[in-house]
Structure 1
Amino acid sequence: MVFRRLALPLLLASFVGSAQAIPLLDFGVGEEGFGTEFLPANDDGSTNLLDLPFDINFFGSTYSSFFVNNNGNITFESALGTFTPDPFPVASQPMIAPYWADVDTRVAGNLWIHSPNADTLAVTWSSVGYFGDQIPGGGEEGGEGSGETLLAAAVGPKTNSFQLVLRNRADTGTGNFDVDFRYERLEWTTGDASEGTAGLGGIPAQAGYDAGDGVNFLTLPGSRSDAVLDLQHASNVSSETPGLWTFAIRNGAPPGSSPSNPLLPVATDEGWSFTFNVRPGETFFIDPDIAIGYDYFLESGPLFASVLLPELGDNAYEVWLWNGAEWVFADNVLAGEEYTLSDGVDRFRVLGIEESLALDPLNPTAFVTGLTFAGAGAVQLSQNPIVLSLPVPEPETYAMFLAGLGLIVAARRRARS
């Protein structure tokens, strides 16, 4: 059987409701600070073909120009007026989409395009509304004097503010670049023509990027569901930057394609959550914050086929398997040696990371794990840290404390400060 290797560093941080979303980059230029070039108020419109300030290598194709589409995305082959997001992958339509949905700037907001220097491009959707919220020229689609109209007039229209930033990283290789999504405010998910009501329900927005080759793509958590609004409260960068999502495109390949550019995960109270698309024969690299071990759980998709662990400390690990009732020691494994997980398993445990290494728990590339899977398809998995419980003892119990250092417990990951 052919397996695809998965190497994916994963860091997704979730935050309490009081966290403030990341602000949009303000360049101090133009009416709102986002530049002077703009796409006039419209519904489903696009710019003409525009020049990129630098060439990019996007999944093996080099582009020097692009289209900005009103509906929350940029494309490279042709303009795109589609307002209801199709699930990635979308054939023959390479795109980067911070928030693909039915944006209507005739209702509210503006779309700004600005290149502050030769190495940066920013596209800003500032306080934009959705189709069907209010009809230009007066009245609401709900009908003059309707309950929906009066309610909207009382609370004001729902608007979203988000931004796409491309950064030239030719210093790391020709055509290399970074992608930033910044979500300052998300209040609506869906236009009326996408089966939405009052900006919600129906077929919600999708965020991510797509090579247009039917193979390579990334969809952000919550896409095409009401949970897409949570993008403003989460990050794959840091708990201190809710609403900021960053991706590195290197040598035409996305994050997860190499140990040096792993996919960053979503952090949950229990550990790390991963969602991605896998194919036989390809390796992805995942890496959460470090501990003394990890439990890997498959939520959905093809079974784990093998694991490849990094060179670290004494390079010696233990692999444990679940027998249906408890964890059972399976084998000693050395770093760099692919270990086959029987005929495929839905969970396994890795122990043996030395406490003396004191790896930084905020370093998202500290423990890059290679995984293969027993088939193709969309995978959702979690990687939960196993940590050492270190209570602060009273002096008279210090000896007991030392004796208990060997106890290993599964615990929630430490909150980021």
Structure 2
Amino acid sequence: MVFRRLALPLLLASLAGSAQAIPLLNFGVGPSGFGTAFLPDNDDQSTGRLSLPFEINFFGQTFNNFFVNNNGNITFNSALGSFTPQPFPVSAQPMIAPFWADVDTRGTGDVWILSPNDDTLAITWASVGYFSQATDKTNSFQLVLRNRADTGAGNFDVDFRYERLEWTTGDASDGEFGLGGTPAQAGYDAGDGTNFLVLPGSRTAAVLDLQNQSNVSPSTPGLWTFAIRDGVLPGSSPSNPLLPIATDSGWQFDFNVSLGQMYFIDPDIAIGYDYFLESGPLFASVLLPELGDNAYEVWLWNGTEWVFADNVLAGEEYTLSEGVDRFRVLGIEESVALDPLNPTAFVTGLTFDGSGAVQVLQNPIVLSLPVPEPETYAMFLAGLGLIVAARRRVPS
């Protein structure tokens, strides 16, 4: 079970369509555990303008209101009835979309809302079918917005939670039996043509894999978390790094890059890391964080084995020859005793020798040691600061 079942509010469907922003009214949890359905069974409908429980800075645009659209998304400028997802960016339509597709609740499923406190908003699409009134496959997914004004005015977190994904496409989007055609898209879009994020598999059959993947931990399949800070895209600063897909061996990053622009990625900590470029422009340089003695080793691949290249100091941008598709960093001290919940513990800066989409793997090199006696185990871990590769930090 991925969803959080919290005390939920009721928003009466009869209020939808009002020109004024409607506050979220807390009438109780309802029989579902997600609140009370606030949209009638429908195809392509939306609520009226609703009041956000807190103000957000969505990439330089401040919003206090929003619309919930039946087709798996919320928007901020106006309601949206489009059922076939357009590739992001979409002009003048700021949107957060856990699963933008042709949802049809006339056959099965409901859409629910919750705002249990002033710092939380959640929308749940529970057991929803697809157009036209299909019930043979259903999807259950959730969007959660969390106020993070404690880190800066307008800052917030976005969670996508996928419990069950069985269909990708409605019949009117050229689908057949819920598949094929133009599949669903997941992500967010500021509507400015610049700031957007598309989750892996969007607009392909692989979008169903979102329920089996995570950028938090392999142990939390279906959970995706994003930190929106200071109105800028993740990756633009060490305090707001990109978060990857968690894999069995490490972390996979998918993002767009520009020539010479540095991007910050946020891994867990081990004694070193291997960085692999799966696709896109080559690695041009690396900037490593201040940690311990601030001294690292960079190793390069000669085609058959790793070869020591240079000693590198923290804070000094190191050029990776004429561009490489992989490199290794060693020298992270065992005695540092890093906090695994610290989101900026080892944030790496990368530049690339070109522009375009890239896919980067960052695999931790972990220290293998014998398990100590039980009574000394907790002290042992605290002293060495060992972190299991499968663990993942939640951004602050």
TM-score > 0.5 by shorter chain: yes
Query: Equivalents in 2 of 1:282, 1:51: separation in Å?
Result: 37
- Contact 2:276–2:362 under 8 Å retained in 1: yes
Separation in structure 2 between the aligned mates of residue 26 and residue 198 of structure 1, nearest angstrom = 34
Distance 1:281 1:48, change over 3 A: farther
- 1:179 is displaced (CA, Å) by 1.1
Matched with 2:119 is: 119
Q: Which amino acid aligns with 1:371?
A: L
Please tell me whether the aligned partners of residues 217 and 390 of structure 2 are also in contact (alpha carbons under 8 angstroms). no
CA drift of 1:189 comes to: 1.4
Point out which structure has higher relative CO (alpha carbons under 8 A, 6+ apart). 1
Q: Deviations over 1:234-258 (max 9, x none)?
A: 3222344332222111111233222
Q: Percent identity?
A: 79
Q: Provide closer, same or farther for how the CA distance between residues 103 and 262 of structure 1 changes in structure 2, counting only shifts above 3 A.
A: same
CA distance in 2, matches of 1:295, 1:353: 13
SS in 1 for 2:207: helix
Displacement after TM superposition at 1:392 (Å): 6.9
SS of the aligned residue for 1:178 comes to strand
Aligned match of 1:92: 92
Q: Which residue does 1:143 correspond to in 2?
A: none
Q: What is the CA-CA distance between 1:32 and the residue it aligns to?
A: 2.0
Q: Which residue of 330, 336, 342 maps to 2:309? A: 330
For residue 245 of structure 1, what is the aligned residue in structure 2? 224
Contact 1:24 1:183 in 2 (8 A): no
Q: Cα 1:188–1:123, aligned 2, differ >3 Å: closer, same or farther? A: same
CA deviation vs aligned residue, 1:350-398 (integer Å, no higher than 9, x gap): 11112333445676543110011122211111011223343579xxxxx
In 1, are the aligned partners of 2:260 and 2:354 still within 8 Å (CA)? no
Query: What TM-score comes out, normalization by structure 1 length?
Result: 0.80
**5 Å matches for 1:374-393?**
374-390=353-369
Distance 1:301 1:91, change over 3 A: farther
Structure 2 gap ranges (5+)? 9-28, 373-387
User: Deviation digits for residues 276-300 of structure 1, max 9, x if unmatched?
Assistant: 1223454321122222211111111
Deviation of 1:309 after TM superposition, in Å, equals 0.1
1:102 aligns with 2:82: no
Bigger Cα Rg: 1
The one-character-per-residue Cα deviations of 1:165-220 (angstroms, maximum 9, x if unpaired) are: 11112122111111111212212111122222211222221111111122211112
Residue 255 of structure 1 is matched in structure 2 by 234
Structure-1 residue corresponding to 2:17: none
**Ranges of 4+ aligned residues in structure 1 off by more than 6 Å:** none
Match of 1:177 in 2: 156
* 1:9-408 equivalence runs, <5 A: 21-27=1-7, 29-36=29-36, 38-134=38-134, 157-359=136-338, 365-390=344-369
1:109-149 Cα deviation digits (max 9, x unpaired): 11122322222222111111011353xxxxxxxxxxxxxxx
Relative to structure 1, the CA distance from residue 360 to residue 170 in structure 2 (aligned partners, 3 Å threshold; closer, same or farther) is closer
Q: Which blocks of at least 5 consecutive residues in structure 1 are unaligned?
A: 1-20, 135-155, 394-412
Q: Could you tell me how far apart the structure 2 residues matched to 1:269 and 1:364 are?
A: 20
Q: Distance in 1 between matches of 2:391 and 2:349?
A: 25
